[in-house]
Structure 1
Amino acid sequence: MAGPRVVIIGAGVVGAALADELSCRGWTEITVVDQGPLPATGGSSSHAPGLVFQANPSKTMTELARYTVEKLGALDVDGQPCFLQVGGLELATTPERLTELARRQGWLTSWGVEGRLVGPDECVALHPLVNRERVLGGLLVPTDGLAVAVLAVEAQIRAARARGVRVLDRHEVLDIRTRADEAAGSDRVTAVVTDRGDIPADVVVCCAGIWGPKVARMVGMSLPLTPLAHQLAWTGPVPALAGQAEEAVRPILRHQDADLYYRDRFDRLGIGSYGHHPMPVSADDIAPVDSAEQMPSVLRFTADDFADAWGETRSLLPATRDTKVEEGINGLFSFTTDGMPLLGESPEVKGFWVAEAVWVTHSAGVGRAMAEWLVDGHCSSFDLHECEVNRFEPHQLAPAYVHARSCRNFVEVYDILHPLQPPGAPRPLRTSPFHVRERELGAFFLEASGWERPQWYAANEPLLDRWDIPTPNDWAARMWSPLVGAEALATRESVALYDMTALKRLEVEGPGAAAFLQRLTTSDVDKSVGSVTYTLMLDEDGTLRSDITVARLARHRFQIGANGSPDLDWFLRHLPEDGSVAVRDITAGTCCIGLWGPRAREVLQPLADADFSDAGLRYFRARRAHIGVVPVTAMRLSYVGELGWELYTSADLGLKLWDTLWEAARPHGGIAAGRGAFNSLRLEKGYRAFGTDMTYEHDPYEAGVGFAVKREKGDFIGRAALERRAAGVRRRLTCLTIDDPGAVVMGKEPVYDGDRPVGYVTSAGYGYTVGKGIAYAWLPAELAAPGRALDIGYFDRRVPAVVAQEPLFDPAMRRLRGSHPSGDAR
């Protein structure tokens, strides 16, 4: 098959990889266009130092890097290798960094990449230029190395050309033509306009790198990407390296305590620095190819900004004291607001795709991922949920936000970051109607999708006199307070108010709404008005897209509890062409309080004008009511495993709702509780968190949510593929418990069966009701039997854990259904 007419804008490492991967899959009506000369077209690929370090907290990013290593390692250009596998060595010069390297080694083990911690003597043996007195240890990854980016472009372009791909260099893209697609209710690409004529296109993929925002604007798309200059210098000859005949023989080196990295170049060293102040550049201000001093992505070196980096280099690598910096650049690279790539199709212009903010490290992996996505309609090799270009909230596309967060990511690129550490300025951005009361109660706020979300409340300190809350280890005790445990226990004992406003809420309305939702979900949602259904959305290959709740509030109106912007994008892409369904995001105009605990009914019923008894509003049912003077939509759901309701109202009445419930709850021992307690309680009940416990790479049966699949209901997206998956579950999301209260793990740690790594932790915390640490982990199915003893690798230690039967708390569901108002339901 020739496939559709594809135009790839940009012939750097990403565009070249995509052309190669697409043509491998039989699409050959492909044109690659670039404004510069091949193979060094003048973008970031043309000056990139090529260091490929695979260690990353993101499983996806590590896997993209691993594929890049494997692919480039097999490529050459006329006998010149495209990858020099010299290994990677990350150094620790502080105790904090040494501890961090143990965490990074755990990530590698979790994601299936070899890596080991080495002592200071071995660091020097591996890289003799290192000052033994400065180094405490290191992390060695033997498969890391140097990608020769320009050769990688040439090799992949040659392969693509051999399959019929057309490559046009020195063609500047001026515009992208579109036409209205009435059936789809959007525009569709038709051609790419260059200074040498139009190129017809059914699909356009923007791989323009630092020019990405400029190209995306041609179709009205905001791309949250900022080009920032990063300093790269080359020494003169280093006497200690005299006679080195090969380009690189020592491992690539990271000195993250000083924001530095190093690489060989025969008898010289390359030095990269992130230690200087951010140097953002607008994509519109990048010099044209023919007028740039060296190339468009290279700015003049600013020696003063490099002074500290050079001083630190001479200390860490004393041999450099016998040379000097001979040349340097301020090279432009792409940074995003969250440090992740931007992949996917425009929400408004069909056929316009982006593969942006991708460094050499992940380039071949992204090429493969995009090729699978384009050809098959989904990506089967990688979980791309963190990379979707449509993952952002509207405020996250504001130029000021993009600039501030991208610059912050530059500053923090080598920092030791706690998994709960909130981003910096700009904050606060979004506040619920309850924010003023939460501040009065001494809330400690973290951030979720821009929302300020309480983690715990200082006002609950008197509760600490009632319970002895165990203190976790130092790492887990950061962004933590014993109030988390006290709030969890108080919820189990009495009643608590939880701010649930940050959760995405969608409204689906119209005469075709029920049929539309039936098609998109795995459960039967075409039920009576007032029904609430927990259900799943799948991709065509039967893997999970999301888990959602669907509440039928009227015959043709449904409220969706979603996981984020990708869910909204998924709904919009599948709307029927007849206009019978409308979808809108109602999150900003509404708010939600979770009122949960065994005394929740005692608080709510006297305030309500409706019957909130078991008979009046059953579990997983919804109704309209007034709480005092506030109209609410009440849904009898609980993600903490206790009797209660999610209470929704409009934003203008939110504060009144809080005050009404607060006044009524206080005589019953009611409190406000934060996300820390929420997470502990939901782990005790075994409730999955999409994006953490289960993602696009998992199916319902292995994730433990197969109960939400109702195959008897009729057809739905992914059903055919799911039939094949049901019979062969090879891995399972499994509950582990930890007896040691100080050994709380945080997530992403490797799980061992003896000395063999067998899986990894997803989400974890301490269960204050059950008195154990809890860790959910992906394990081979044969190891998921309750009672199995395993170990979790936590920094430099092993934590004993046992596979447990889930849920750990209230397996008979008596408390959720309100039939056990007090006592211990473990």
Structure 2
Amino acid sequence: MAGPRVVIIGAGVVGAALADELSSRGWTEVTVVDQGPLPATGGSSSHAPGLVFQTNPSKTMTELARYTVEKLCALDVDGQPCFLQVGGLEVATTPERLTELRRRQGWLTSWGIEGRLVGPEECVDLHPLVNRERVLGGLLVPTDGLAKAVLAVEAQIRAATARGVRFLARHEVLDIRTDGEHGERVTAVVTGQGEIPADIVVCCAGIWGPKIARMVGMNLPLTPLAHQLAWTGPVPALAGQAEEAVRPILRHQDADLYYRDRFDRIGIGYYGHRPMPVSADDIASVDSAEDSAEDSAEPMPSVLRFTEDDFADAWTETQSLLPATRDAKVEEGINGLFSFTTDGMPLLGESPDVKGFWVAEAVWVTHSAGVGRAMAEWLVDGHCSSFDLHECDVNRFEPHQLAPDYVLARDCQNFAEVYDIIHPLQPPDAPRPLRTSPFHVRERELNAFFLEASGWERPQWYSANEPLLARWSIPTPNDWAAQLWSPVVGAEALATRESVAMYDMTALKRLEVAGRGAAAFLQRLTTANVDKSAGSVTYTLMLDEDGGIRSDITVARLGRDLFQVGANGNLDLDWFTRHLHDWGHRPAVAGGGSVVVRDITAGTCCIGLWGPKAREVLQPLADSDFSNNGLRYFRAKRAHIGAVPVTAMRLSYVGELGWELYTTADMGLKLWDTLWEAAQPYGGIAAGRGAFNSLRLEKGYRSFGTDMTYEHDPYEAGLGFAVKMDKGDFIGRAALERRAADVRRRLTCLTIDDPRAVVMGKEPVYDDGRPVGYVTSAAYGYTIGKGIAYAWLPAELATAGRALQIGYFDQRVPAVVAEEPLFDPTMSRLRG
């Protein structure tokens, strides 16, 4: 199998890895073009310092790094290794950082990588240049090390070339040709040395990525930023060191610094300077940079002149942490360009508008080989089976997140925060606010504390509810969990259970699917039967071809040919749109009629009115019957609430009687005021996301992206009830039939007795000291009086009553496997 004609733009660590991985899978009609020479092409790979630290809060990023380490360890060029596995050491010089290292060690354990905390003496034993008086401890990862990026490129070029892949140096890309009614498919790549036919084009151009992507009209949210890397002259303490690196690579994140050996010299990387963004359009081509090299100290376009003033604090701090450097001086340095994105994650996937144009961008050496494998699987198999890529998909962004001002601000902030201690709930400081619901003015009047979700200002709690604290004693969690928290969260949760509360649900994405083929289209994409009577609401899943969960959604049939979908984000819209094109080829007739998909989020809003008094509040306002018989659980209808037309859906993710009430944005404030006035005699309140999360976990409701992702199937996740095998064919059905008989892990509910021991997510779970899984969602359950943590565990351990422990910083928190749901298992409150 030669495969389709693939052109990869960029022969750095990503492009070379992708060519190697594609050709190893039988795709050999592959051409890799680069504007520079091979293997040092002049991009970021050519000057990358090569430090590979695998520790990351993202399971996906850690696994991409682990594969990169494993692959590069097995590669060499004429006996020269492509990876020096000297280990990685992160040191703490403050108590806060030492605590953070314990959290980071927990991530490693959760994701299955060896890492251990070491004391200050062992830090010095491992890296004798470290000042014992400065360090409080460290985190050692033995499998970390130094990637020899240019050698790795050469090794993978050789392997791919042996299978028939062509590598063309000195081929600058000038254009990408497309064809079709709307120019929606790639046909060729135009270079300075001719045109290369292509069925698939993959942009691995790194810092030039935005420029290449614009050739097909794609807006890539990536900013090249300069990052300082300096080299000392000979350090007398290292005199005679014959090997390039013998000490662990070193991170001093309290000062935004990292270090590596280079024989008798030390490399110093620094993130503490001012952000220095550069437009991709302003980066010279390799040829023009070489032409001007005689007049410049920097021979590569990805390397800018070193700015000594920006490095002054770094050198002072280096001499303090590594006193031996006081006998040396900085002899050379660069401001090297690297790619940054708005959320710190790579950009992987296919253009939403031009079929066959793919990107693998904003990928550092640390994750390069892993991304090469992920992209190869995605291209060859139609999905990636080795890694969950939902955090990396280039189509994850909302439209405002592609605005140039937003991209620049967020990318610069991510550079500044690259080594900061970030709380799991910490929102971006700017640019805010961006998106506000029609209720925002009332929420501010109630002194809401806002966090951010997809640009939306979303209340976490309301300070106006502080008087409720006189009614309940709300336990205070540990210091970490108490950040971005208030006891009002607990009071709002209990008030919801007792009376009635209004929740702003506007931030949830809403899609409209309409047309004569809408029902058949949705049947094809979902696991449950959505082709039911008008007024039905169905909880269902979308799967990939391998049976992994793409998303969980609610589908409300509002008319014969009209559906409203409650989705999880822009990736769901992208999934619908791609299959819509396949369904009818720009929307047309297939399977029974045309289909149109629209994102209606911005023009609509939603209030969740929930609690045992919800019907008493709503019914007097309504022109329709909202009794139990008038609108049953998981049914929808249109009605008027006072003067406001609404679509009411009887469902609740807090486990209480109530409705999601949707209306147009222009009527939202009136809906809020109408409900608010009616709720006051019943003690009604506005409640925030903190209470919502506690209540949903008491009820056992899952959250896609946190509790389950592409790597999990419905049976593992406890969502088998949402799969109807008797409905006919749907995407992923065949794979699901194979997976159903072999469930080896389960999403499991754990409870914690100690009210202070509230965990936050991503912590390891232990069974008699052996790590066996990791936490997904967690919160305190104020109704049940226990902490709640959902976790992925081996199936044999997911038995009620099993005693386990959760690793939380330096503690082992006792936890017990519990039957779920913890609250209202008979569903009497929801169905009443």
TM-score w.r.t. length of structure 2:
0.98
2:54 aligns to what? 54
Structure 1 residue corresponding to 2:250, chosen from 250, 253, 256? 253
1:348 aligns with 2:353: yes
Q: Give 3-state SS (helix, strand or coil) of 1:806's partner.
A: coil
How far off its partner does 1:291 sit?
Answer: 3.0
SS at match of 1:511: coil
State the match for 2:108 in structure 1. Answer: 108
Q: Deviations over 1:594-617 (max 9, x none)?
A: 000000000000000000000000
Q: How far 1:290 moved relative to its partner?
A: 2.4
Q: Distance in 2 between matches of 1:155 and 1:637?
A: 56
Write the distance in 2 (CA, Å) between the matches of 1:268 and 1:521.
Answer: 59
1:456 matched to 2:453? The reply is: no
Q: Which residue of 2 aligns with 1:268?
A: 265
| Alignment match, 2:722 | 708
- Match among 466, 484, 489 for residue 484 of structure 1: 489
Closer, same or farther: CA 534–186 of 1 in aligned 2, 3 Å: farther
Distance 1:70 1:433 in 2: 51
Aligned to 1:717: 731
Equivalent of residue 525 in structure 2, options 520, 527, 535: 520
Q: Deviation digits for residues 100-154 of structure 1, max 9, x if unmatched?
A: 0000000000000000000000000000000000000000000000000000000
Shift of 1:294: 1.2
| Contact 2:42–2:286 (8 Å) recurs in 1 | yes
Q: Determine the C-alpha separation between the residues in 2 that align with 1:639 and 1:797.
A: 32
Aligned AA for 2:240?
G
Deviation at 1:742, TM superposition (A): 0.2
Q: What does residue 3 of structure 2 align with?
A: 3
Structure 1 spans left out of the alignment, 5+ residues: 819-826
Corresponding residue for 1:42?
Answer: 42
Structure 2 counterpart of 1:594 = 608
Q: 1:671 aligns with which of 685, 694, 708?
A: 685
Q: Is this contact kept in 2: 1:186–1:350, CA < 8 A?
A: no
The residue aligned with 1:140 is 140
Q: What residue number does 2:294 align with? A: none
| Aligned residue type for 2:246 | V
**Partner SS for 2:405:** helix
State the alpha-carbon separation in 1 of the partners of residues 681 and 212 from structure 2.
Answer: 60
The match for 1:238 is: 235
4+ long deviations beyond 6 Å: none
What SS is found at the alignment partner of 1:624?
strand
Who is 2:382 aligned against?
Answer: 377
User: Could you list the per-position Cα deviations for residues 544-572 of structure 1 after superposition, in whole angstroms to 9, with x for gaps in the alignment?
Assistant: 00000000001000000000000000000
Q: 1: CA distance between counterparts of 2:28 and 2:650?
A: 54
User: SS of 1:21's equivalent?
Assistant: helix
How many pairs align?
815
Q: Which letter does structure 2 place at the counterpart of 1:172?
A: E
2:718 partner amino acid: G
State the Cα RMSD in Å: 0.5
SS state of the match for residue 221, structure 1? Answer: coil
AA matched with 1:670:
G
Alignment of 1:299-378 (within 5 A): 299-378=304-383
Give me the whole-angstrom Cα distance separating, in 1, the residues matched to 2:246 and 2:398.
Answer: 46
Equivalent residue number for residue 821 of structure 1 = none
CA displacement, residues 495-529 of structure 1 (integer Å, 9 cap, x when unaligned): 00000000000000000000000000000000000
Could you tell me how far apart the structure 2 residues matched to 1:204 and 1:289 are? 21
How far is 1:330 from its partner? 0.0
CA deviations on 1:224-281 (whole Å, 9 max, x unpaired) are 0000000000000000000000000000000000000000000000000000000000
Asked if structure 1 preserves the Cα contact closer than 8 Å seen for 2:257 and 2:269, the reply is yes
Paired with 1:545 and 1:286, the residues of 2 have a C-alpha distance of 38
Partner residue of 2:17?
Answer: 17
Provide the residue aligned with 1:628 in structure 2: 642
Question: 2:458, 2:507 within 8 Å by CA — same for their partners in 1?
Answer: yes
Asked whether the equivalents of residues 35 and 287 of structure 2 are also in contact (C-alpha less than 8 Å), the reply is no
Distance in 2 separating the partners of 1:290 and 1:688? 53
Partner of 1:32: 32
Letter in 2 for 1:792: I
Question: Which string of whole-angstrom CA distances, capped at 9 and with x for unpartnered residues, describes residues 401-442 of structure 1?
Answer: 000000000000000000000012100000000000000000
Match of 1:822 in 2: none
Whichever residue aligns with residue 216 of structure 1, its letter is A
Specify the code of the residue in structure 1 equivalent to 2:148.
V
Deviation at 1:186, TM superposition (A): 6.2
Deviation of residue 755 (structure 1)?
A: 1.2
The question of whether the paired residues in 2 share the 8 Å contact of 1:624 and 1:633 is answered with yes
Match for residue 749 of structure 2? 735
Where do 5+ consecutive residues of structure 2 fail to align?
Answer: 290-297
- CA contact 1:739–1:772 (8 Å) conserved in 2: yes
Distance 1:266 1:638 in 2: 63
SS at match of 2:711: coil
Does the CA-based 8 Å contact 1:632-1:649 persist in structure 2? yes
Deviation per residue, 1:357-380 (Å, 9 max, x gap): 000000000000000000000000
CA drift of 1:764 comes to: 0.2
CA contact 2:89–2:251 (8 Å) conserved in 1: yes
Question: Could you tell me how far apart the structure 2 residues matched to 1:351 and 1:291 are?
Answer: 30
Paired residues of 2:472 and 2:491 also in contact (CA < 8 A): yes
Q: State the shift of 1:779 in Å.
A: 0.1
Cα deviations by residue, 1:679-703 (Å, 9 ceiling, x for unpaired): 0000000000000000000000000
Instruction: Provide the secondary structure at the position in 2 that maps to 1:218.
Output: helix
CA shift in 2, pair 1:511/1:173, >3 Å: same
Aligned residue runs from structure 1 range 123-162, under 5 A = 123-162=123-162
Separation in structure 2 between the aligned mates of residue 506 and residue 698 of structure 1, nearest angstrom: 24
Structure 1 CA distance, aligned partners of 2:241 and 2:466? 65
1:204 equivalent among 177, 201, 205: 201
| Residue 826 of structure 2: aligned partner | 812
- Determine which of 789, 798, 801 is the counterpart of 1:787: 801
The 8 Å contact of residues 551 and 568 in structure 2, kept in 1 or not, is answered as: yes
**Structure 1 counterpart SS, 2:286:** coil
Matches within 5 A, 1:419-818: 419-575=424-580, 576-577=583-584, 578-579=588-589, 580-818=594-832
